[in-house]
Amino acid sequence: MSLVSVQGLFVVYEPQGALPVPAVRNVSFDLEQGDFVGLVGESGSGKSTLGFALTGLSKPPARVSAGSILFDGVDIAGMTPAQLRVQRHGGFAMVLQSGMNALNPVRSIRDHFFDIFTAHGHVSKRDREARAIELVGKVELPASVLDRFSGELSGGMRQRVSIALALSLEPRLMVFDEPTTALDVLVQHAVMDTIRELQKSEKFTAVLISHDLGMVLEVTERVMVMHDGLVVEDALAAEILAAPQHPYTRMLLSHYGDPRAAVVEVPGLAARGGDRATDVAVAAAGNAPVTVTGDTLDTLEPVAAPAAPPASTVRRREGRAAREAIVVTNVSKIYQRPSRGEEPVCAVNNVSFTLEPGASMALVGASGSGKSTIAKLITGVERPTSGSITFGDLQIDTIKRRQLKRLHTEVQMVFQDPYAALNPLHTVEYILTRPILNFSRLRGRDARARVLELLETVGLTPVEQFAARLPHQLSGGQRQRVVIARALASDPQVIIADEPVSMLDVSLRAGVLALLDSLRETWGVSMLYITHDLLSARLVTDQIMVLNSGAVVEEGRTADVLQNPQDEYTIRLLEAIPHPTVGGLVQS
Amino acid sequence: MTPTRTIIPPTSIVKTMSPGDHAGTANPLRVLWRAFATIWSVPKARIGVAMLGVFVLVAIFAPLLAPYAATDNSFGRSEDMSAAHWLGTTAAGQDVLSQLIYGARVSVFVGFVAGLLSTIIAVLIGLSWGYLRGFAGEVINFIVNLFLVIPALPLMIVIAAYLQNGGIGMIVLVVVITGWAWGARVLRSQTQSLRSRDFVTAAIFSGESPSRIVFREILPNMTSLIVGSFFGASTAAILAEAGLEFLGLGDSTTVSWGTMLFWAQNSNALLTGQWVLLFAPGLCISLLATSMSLINFGVDGLSNPRLREGAKR
């Protein structure tokens, strides 16, 4: 008999004062003891809802409305909380995405383990300490973490602790809900390895919920793809990789590529190889030293559009291509710790580069590498400790508040989180009208015409309808387009995009990236693209700088650096990317 | 400036989002209407709204409801309850029920005006305090801490004693001076948390001025907190007004629940067996304060949907 048998499961959300929304529709599957199954889908596909239902954690307004979840022959869908609590010992456990924030900050890690031992009484008082040490050992942590508090541990360590806590009841089913999404790229890889090892050695049944099909294919044996509440494909990982049946699976798969390949292609974006006109142009200019502070404006013409531009709504802007370069010279930024005795943090260490007009440069690195700090320094939000940053005649490192507005007419920013970057109470039209009123002389009818033009530029049509919407009426991708439109409203020369697609679903990423790419090529804006995602960097940029703890470790043409990385850190970043199509098969 | 919003009848608000509707911001009326619906959906708050509504109606229509004029002292003194005087008469020969009904006017008026004024001051100071950094913030910090640290009642008594018998205006002033600091502190911390949000940074990139960022970007996101602090301030104002008048620091010739208590105490109403004289205004004061507190249960649901009652099914 299967360990878990789900039959015709329906889960609905019944919010107060709104129509019920089905989140999981007619899902049936079986899990055998020791299976490692991936559950993949984009946001809103119902994958987490299903995970919560599997572990008896469905909370109002979610409700299991039909079907059964047999765990070891017992239906858990209809259990009371008290019955469920008993079931959890030797039953099922869940590790959450924010599991690392689930630790109580005023209690030591040891207390967390002892709480569980006390609640279930399955470990005698004498054995507690040994058992706790054994558990943290399983997730590759030293016994000394038991004395620590969650605030003293890094994100990866906290997530390991929460996995160990979930293990403490010897569950036969573990559900991992995006266990590594909130972690840094390099740490993600290590935690995922731990999970894989654990699953092999402990032989529990594991369900790995993730939006990242690449990672799931790499670590699991069987994959279920969810779309719109339905399981659209359920097959072995190798089968999905070799012959995906459902068009949705194929679409998801098509968005993976190897940034190291000679030619990288993703649907909706022009292929990036070594033979493109743009690459040649940049390569020619790129041979000159890039870090010099001298005025190299003449050496690089605004990048010419490719012979056959992709179908885009972006119109060429007349005579407004970027003219000035951002020149960063020997910039360092040191943050003083608020408490005495601690070493100051050097976020940016002696970085120099020039962002040529019309060029696109990627700034890549893991979190804490100082890439976002550089964005803050360039936009005048923070001031460097030493070094100089200039844009045209503006000295950004010592900029006055009054000049800041002038800087922002030319240098604009696209934010990482489209859900936080738009005021939830303002309509799209208001959001776009404000920079137009502040930065241009357009008023009234003209300003409105400009708003509609911007919306058309970013592909939000019909424009009249989108202008009247509030942010919550837009999807993530549409919001990010509004954020981009706002950045364009002042008609800037430079756009700084800080992880513009990291919060978006895979299928939406290509669209936003294509928009940014065509903006650069047809509008002639320069772009500084900040990311940890090397694939997207490869797709939209010509030059790349790799940052490690504030210092530049490698730079050059994107294609060259990624195909032929020299620095060990770059190689590690490249290896952390899941390669379902290439590396996954090699590794497994 | 802070928008002091007035409540508009719902009929003009029920309007769906049409594609052609291009208002600059989310219609504040619609936001208010939704806020009211949320408050109404909480049973406790519904009771509070009903109670408050009764008090407001009584205050407005006092001349129609009261059987006699409030200052008419032509009746027998210290009479017991009777058909002519449901709650008896005072030691000065006034009808207690009429006084009670007229007294609602002062309490409701002071509650709303003093609550509103101290909320406005709290909003202005709290928001700019939360947004400013550096020296200016430190100065405001010092002033607010000063007001928070001085015990409110003694301060009120001292100020009221200086402004001898100034009437209701004086009481409103005293309540406002002593009542804004707490709200300012709460609003400041919320402002500080909102100012680090991306949309505020984005507004700076859009070239917005600091005052516009504070009042158009940040303020609308704390409506529920402001409404909550208004009801809190009103409750405090009603209690403070009654307290000051009971101590004889107000104008003892006005008719209010506080002065009724004052006179009842002066005429030893309890010793003469006229407990209603103390009980009735006391009950009214506590009911009015209770209604405000009950409404605040609903306001909690506004700011945090998880606190909405009935969410647990």
Q: Give yes or no for residue B11 having a pLDDT over 60.
A: no
Higher pLDDT, B258 or B71: B258
The pLDDT, as a whole number, for residue A218 is 83
Asked whether the beta carbons of B108 and B55 are under 8 A apart, the reply is yes
Question: Looking at residue B50, what is its pLDDT?
Answer: 93
A420 vs B contacts (CB less than 8 Å): 197-199
Choose among A474, A494, A357, A477: nearest CA to A413.
A494
Q: Do B24 and A422 touch (CB under 8 A)?
A: no
Strand A74-75 versus strand A62-71 pairing type: antiparallel
- Mapped onto helix, strand or coil, the DSSP state of residue A8 is strand
Q: Supply the pLDDT for residue A239.
A: 86
Helix (H, G, I), strand (E, B) or coil at B105: helix
- To the question of pTM greater than 0.80 for the whole model, the response is no
Residues paired with B70 in a beta bridge = none
pLDDT, tens digit, 9 for 90 and up, residues B165-185? 667 888 888 888 888 888 899
**Domain edges within chain B:** 37-69+85-307
For chain A, domain boundaries: 4-254, 264-295+355-374+399-587
Percent of chain B past pLDDT 70, that is, above it, reads 86
Topology (CATH level 3) of domain A264-295+355-374+399-587: Rossmann fold (3.40.50)
Higher pLDDT, A120 or B122: B122
CB atoms B221 and A423 under 8 Å: yes
A93 CB near a chain B CB, below 8 Å?
Answer: no
- Which residue in B143, B305, B191, B175 sits closest to B245, CA to CA? B175
- When CB atoms are compared, the residue of B17, B25, B208 closest to A425 is B25
Q: List residues of B whose CB lies inside 8 A of any A CB.
A: 17-26, 31, 41, 197-199, 201-208, 217, 220-221, 308, 310-313
Rounded Cα–Cα distance for residues B135 and B128 (Å): 13
Interface test with B, best of A408, A417, A423, A496 (most B CBs within 10 A): A423
**pLDDT tens sequence across B22-44:** 334 456 677 778 778 878 888 88
Higher pLDDT, B11 or B102: B102
CA distance A561 to A556: 6
Strand ranges inside A400-508, DSSP E: 411-414, 494-498
Strands (E), A376-511: 386-391, 394-395, 411-414, 494-498
Q: Is A496 exposed, middle or buried (0-12, 13-18, 19+ CB in 10 A)?
A: buried
Question: What ipTM score was computed for the predicted complex, to two decimals?
Answer: 0.74
d(CA B68, CA B73): 10
The pLDDT of residue B13 is: 31
Residue B116 has pLDDT above 90, yes or no: yes
* Terminal C-alpha separation, chain B: 43
User: pLDDT for B235-294, tens place per residue?
Assistant: 989 998 888 888 888 777 888 898 888 888 888 877 877 888 888 999 999 999 999 989
Q: Element (H or E) spanning A587, and its range?
A: helix A583-587
Test A16 with B197 for CB contact under 8 angstroms.
no
Q: What is the reported pLDDT for B245?
A: 87
Position A201 scores a pLDDT of 86
| Residue A175 CA: distances (Å) to CA of A87, A208, A393 | 15, 6, 56
Taking the Cβ of residue A71 and every Cβ of chain B, the question of whether any pair is shorter than 8 Å is answered with: no
CB within 8 Å: A16 and B310: yes
φ, ψ for residue A28, nearest 5 deg:
-135, 135
C-alpha span between A412 and A404 (Å, rounded): 11
- Is the sign of the CA dihedral A552, A554, A558, A563 positive or negative? negative
DSSP structure string for A335-397? EPPSSTTSPPEEEEEEEEEEE-TT-EEEEE-STTSSHHHHHHHHTTSS--SEEEEEETTEEGG
What pLDDT, in 10s, does the model give residues B181-200? Answer: 888 998 998 888 888 888 99
CATH number of A4-254: 3.40.50.300
pLDDT for residue A425: 82
Q: pLDDT of chain A along its 588 residues, tens only?
A: 688 888 888 888 887 666 788 888 888 888 888 889 999 888 778 888 888 888 888 777 788 888 888 888 888 877 788 888 877 777 888 888 776 678 888 889 999 999 888 888 788 888 888 989 988 888 888 888 888 888 788 778 888 898 888 888 888 888 998 888 777 777 888 888 888 888 888 888 899 998 888 888 888 889 999 988 888 888 888 888 888 888 888 888 888 777 777 777 777 666 665 433 344 333 333 333 333 233 333 333 333 333 333 344 455 455 466 778 888 888 888 887 666 666 777 888 888 989 888 888 999 888 778 888 888 888 888 888 888 898 888 888 888 877 888 888 888 999 888 888 898 888 899 999 999 998 888 888 888 998 998 898 888 878 888 888 888 888 888 888 899 999 988 888 899 998 888 878 877 888 888 888 888 887 788 899 998 888 888 888 889 999 888 888 988 888 888 888 888 888 888 888 776 654 444 333
Quick check: B312 pLDDT over 50?
Answer: no
Q: Is A406 on the interface with B (CB under 8 A)?
A: no
Q: In this structure, which topology does domain B37-69+85-307 adopt according to CATH?
A: MetI-like fold (1.10.3720)
CA of A409 vs chain B CAs: smallest distance (Å):
8
- How far CA A42 is from CA of A229, A241, B145, in Å, comes to 11, 18, 50
Band of the pLDDT at B118, cuts 50, 70, 90? very high
Write down the residue that tokens 């009764």 correspond to. Answer: B54
| A4-254 and A264-295+355-374+399-587 agree in CATH topology | yes
**pLDDT for the residue numbered A564:** 86
Contact between A421 and B202 (Cβ < 8 Å): yes
CB of A157 less than 8 A from some CB of B:
no
d(CA A518, CA B118): 53
